[in-house]
Structure 1
């Protein structure tokens, strides 16, 4: 994706028409905006589902830890001759509590990692909105160039939607007979995908901002562009 964006931008620069006066924000295309709204709504659902499940699991963890502690206290109070009378049923009960506790803790770890992935999806949307709001009001770009940028942003956001679909698939996997290995594979895939989407977005933002800087015609204009985009 990075190579593709760089190549398209190079072609765009070579074929770019003369710079025209600033185009009012209302007249530029906004193909990516509907995608942003879809992503935001999907993210809200994901975060709500994850937070609710984590809370339930944490409550279950507390209950299991208390139950395990009671069993441990009972065992520690037994005398050696009484330990030999510890029934198989009690041993199995202790083992079930321990195994269930480990299972719950593992699931919580999965959910927290999914939440981290979702948080990065939020940062991606915020980064897009911040950059696009600045670029569409930059008088170093004309209408055709802004339309091109909008299409690229829409492509990146569209790819990120696939990541949300993958997250929903992972959430559904906790209610199916999916193995931990397969679930972890999907989580890693989702993490890699959102990292790639975020890196593509950051790269495209940087390229556009540097292009604006290159088109500045005076020292004063250069300094204004740097302040505008927060470039050091």
Structure 2
């Protein structure tokens, strides 16, 4: 068994375990009774946001994304459609498309995924894609190569303005979140994102969830930090 194949098997095992035990930001979180200062934590698997042009390029002219299930954030959904991401050293298949379509295509993966692709994704806030690497995307009806848009999403907390007022924070603040799991960990420099459209929830990726032993229903305790 060569090193590349072994790495792929390890990656698949980690992903499958976390998806079973941790839940995902691509699914609605189970209702959790929160104590003051607590934030529900969701694990976000790799996914892609497509522009309308990219949707047609990959799935055919006039194609509209088909909703598979609603996401925890209002108005967002996981689509039935998936794509293959192709880098200079490898590929990852069945990457979930999230809807609705956006103005620009953005691919969100973990740092570990970057080893598979042979591309190092920078840690960025969603939407901050200037100067980021591109990647090749394969769909059932076509292929395209984006020249930017591959990122590792910075850990962040979605908040409604009412939540922000309660916690005493504002959009763009950086805080610390302590997760008391089997492998307790404090996540520093966690970005606060505030919008009328948001529901209270922290998003971390699979690498971070694995490091902290995050399971479904996990919560974190917020305190201001830098």
Whether the TM-score (by the shorter chain) exceeds 0.5 is: no
- With structure 1 as the length reference, what TM-score do the two structures score? 0.22
- With structure 2 as the length reference, what TM-score do the two structures score? 0.22
- Structure with the larger strand share: 2
- Structure with the larger helix share: 1
Q: Which has the higher contact order (CA 8 A, sep 6+)?
A: 1
